[in-house]
Amino acid sequence: MSEEKDPTGTPGSLRPETSLGFLGRELLFGRSLFRFIDKQPVASLPLSVLIVTLGGWLSSQTGLEPLLLFFVSPSAGTNRVLFMVLFPLGWLGTFAISEALSVGLFHLKGGRLRLLTSSAFAMLPLLVVPGIFYLLGLSPGTTSLYLVLVPLLVQAWVMCLLSKAIMFSKGLGMERAGLISLAVVYLNVAFLLVSLQAGLF
């Protein structure tokens, strides 16, 4: 079996993995989490829906909408119902682009439910920034070095998780899964720039 068709395999090593290394890999890449989703995609789907629902609620409460690479604040007159649906739409858009790129670049058509479910878990870090704003009662206009650095770290984390999600769902090697994840980010940036030009945010 090729490397690309065996995402759960790990190369042999003479040195055992330390507890700290294991914890770091789990937090950064979610190995055990995505292995579980790979085996139980249907059982994981309700949790995926819960994640994106919570993301929509936090967006409506804080006025911050995470769009993968940036956090934007739609105009004050934006209906809160729109906030509630933007996060789920972002989830579905991330899934759709990842699926289209998997098929278009590597001709991989299976694992759609696994990718749909795992992509929601990959978006979990996006709840960090609006969660901080909600807990601290901050407004969208609040600026500080801390609040600039945290979103950058969050987005890097999302890219790592999304790469792993694609890897497990599609049976790709990490390099190819990372390529798809990077393409998703670039397309997201392009969409955001067009949206800003059109005055949507």
At residue 113, the pLDDT reads 95
The structure tokens listed for 63 are 């006025």
At residue 146, the pLDDT reads 66
At residue 163, the pLDDT reads 94
Contact 88, 56 (CB under 8 A): yes
- Residue 20: CB atoms within 10 A of its CB come to 8
The structure tokens listed for 2 are 């090729």
> Which whole-number Å values give the CA distances from 92 to 25, 40, 113, in the listed order?
26, 20, 12
To 10 degrees, what angle do helices 31-39 and 19-29 make?
Answer: 60
At residue 129, the pLDDT reads 86
At residue 15, the pLDDT reads 61
Three-state DSSP at 140 gives coil
Q: Is the pTM of this model over 0.85?
A: no
pLDDT per 10-residue tile (average), the chain, 201 residues: 45 60 76 91 94 92 74 66 84 94 92 95 91 84 69 88 94 93 88 77 62
At residue 77, the pLDDT reads 57
At residue 196, the pLDDT reads 73
Strand residues in the chain grouped as ranges (E): 65-67, 70-72
